[in-house]
Amino acid sequence: MLLGRVNRTLTSALCVLCFSACVQAVPPDLLAALETIDQDMIALRAPETAPEEYRAFVRQWIALKSRAEFDDDVIRWPWETSELENELRGLYLRGERTVSQLHDRQASRQRTAQSKVASIEDRFHHMTSQVASIDGRIVLGERVVQTDLLVKQARTFFEQKDYQRAIQVADEANQALMNQASLLTQELGRYADGERIASWQAMAQQTIDWSRRHQSSAIVVSKAERELTLYKNGRKVLSYPVRLGFNGIREKQFQGDGATPEGRYRVTDKRGPGQTQFYRAFVLDYPNAEDRRRFDLAKKTGQIAPGKGIGGLIEIHGVENQFTEQTLGCVMLDNPNMATLFESVPVGTPITIVGALTGQNAVALALSQLTNHNNREEI
């Protein structure tokens, strides 16, 4: 009886000893630390920006967590090593390393995005101001707002800390800017073309020579410099600034394109007060034979749509009033200058309109600056 009681006591004591000596296989703080690693990765947008790395971490994390949750290897003797704990610790170390790498990558991506977005904004503003300075905005059509949209989108994505998309959209904006520069060069490259400038110089010189030979007046208008020069007897008498059509920098192609024609013309009519809505005006013989030949050829080759007309009534004129200073392809002067010119120029006076008279003209310089700026700032 006594022996039985002793046995029971000893057995109970052994059991208590055994159970108290057992330890949990996974310290709860290790699981909590891994949860934190997971949250850190999510905060660093690893699932979107580093999906492979995140997936690899999560696969192991889920597998080990389920082992812990389903009591696999949960209780062990103190002298036993816990395989599960070791694996969790290994995953924690790898996770910590990944978080650190992601953090570095995120910081680097932020710097890249910041630099790209700032650069594209700078280049866009530079291009906008250069294009505005040569009235070339119309040449670019809707491309300007399209690029502006991309630039603004890149900034918004950056502010939302979506650096990857900010970089992607900034790259698209960069490409759009390159296309714009290329289009401008294609459309306005003639202002930087030596042969074309030489031909314009020759046209202007012939007009000046005509003025000298005939002891008469002649006018030369340079579109790039926005300048009208009056010659008398082959000598320069005065120069006035002018405004052109809203698309004046381009070569005139058809009616309503807002471009100012280039060529040799004559004053066919002078319109004084009551005869023009634009203060005073010289009517030019546009379109002349050369303009018609060019127009017909462009139509034949499909460069101009069949329904388009060649236009007409190109004038050198003053300003109607302060609300309506406008021109759709003419050459416009301020009224006091127009008054002086009106007195000095008779009907029949030759007027030569050229793109530019020097290689260093405003359009060529703007194009060159755009190209240089693009090359320097290219991202």
Partner 1 sequence: MQSRVFLVPITLAIVMTAGCADPPTQQIQEAEKALKEAQESGASTYSPDEYAKLEGTLDTIRKEVSEQDGKFALFRDYGKAQQLSISAKSESERIQVATAQKKEEGKAAAMQAQQVAEEAVRAAQQLVAKAPVGKDRAAVEAIKNDVEGLQSLLKQVQDSIDKQDYPAAQTQAKAIHDMSQGVQTEIQNALAKVGRGKPPLSRRQ
Element housing 219 (H / E): strand 217-222
Closest C-alpha among 250, 245, 252, 130 to residue 181: 130
- Smallest gap from residue 150 Cβ to partner 1 (A): 8
Structure-block tokens of residue 235: 């000598």
DSSP lists the bridge partners of residue 317 as: 281, 332
Q: Does 307 bind partner 1 (CB under 8 A)?
A: no
Contact with partner 1 (CB under 8 A): which of 255, 337, 368, 371? 255
Contacts of 227 (CB under 8 A, 6+ apart): 221, 239, 240, 241, 242
Q: Does 196 bind partner 1 (CB under 8 A)?
A: no
7 vs 326 by CB, closer to partner 1:
326
- Smallest gap from residue 327 Cβ to partner 1 (A): 6
Q: Does 233 bind partner 1 (CB under 8 A)?
A: no
* Residues 79-138 within binding reach of partner 1 (CB under 8 A): 132, 135, 137-138
C-beta atoms surrounding 308 within 10 Å: 15
Structure-block tokens of residue 11: 């057995």
Helix crossing, 28-43 with 51-69: angle to 10°?
160
- Smallest gap from residue 11 Cβ to partner 1 (A): 25
Q: Does 63 bind partner 1 (CB under 8 A)?
A: yes
Contact with partner 1 (CB under 8 A): which of 326, 358, 360, 372? 326
Q: Does 247 bind partner 1 (CB under 8 A)?
A: yes
Q: Does 58 bind partner 1 (CB under 8 A)?
A: yes
62 vs 107 by CB, closer to partner 1:
62
How far is it, in rounded angstroms, from Cα 43 to Cα 37? 10
Q: Are 229 and 236 in contact (CB under 8 A)?
A: yes
Q: Does 313 bind partner 1 (CB under 8 A)?
A: yes
Quick check: helix, strand or coil at residue 282?
strand
Q: Are 357 and 319 in contact (CB under 8 A)?
A: no
- Smallest gap from residue 37 Cβ to partner 1 (A): 12
How far is it, in rounded angstroms, from Cα 130 to Cα 244? 17
Q: Does 153 bind partner 1 (CB under 8 A)?
A: yes
Q: List interacting residues with partner 1 (CB under 8 A).
A: 38, 41-42, 47-48, 51, 54-55, 58-59, 61-63, 66, 70, 72, 132, 135, 137-138, 141-142, 144-146, 148-149, 152-153, 156-157, 160, 162, 165, 243-248, 255-256, 258, 309, 311-314, 320, 322-330
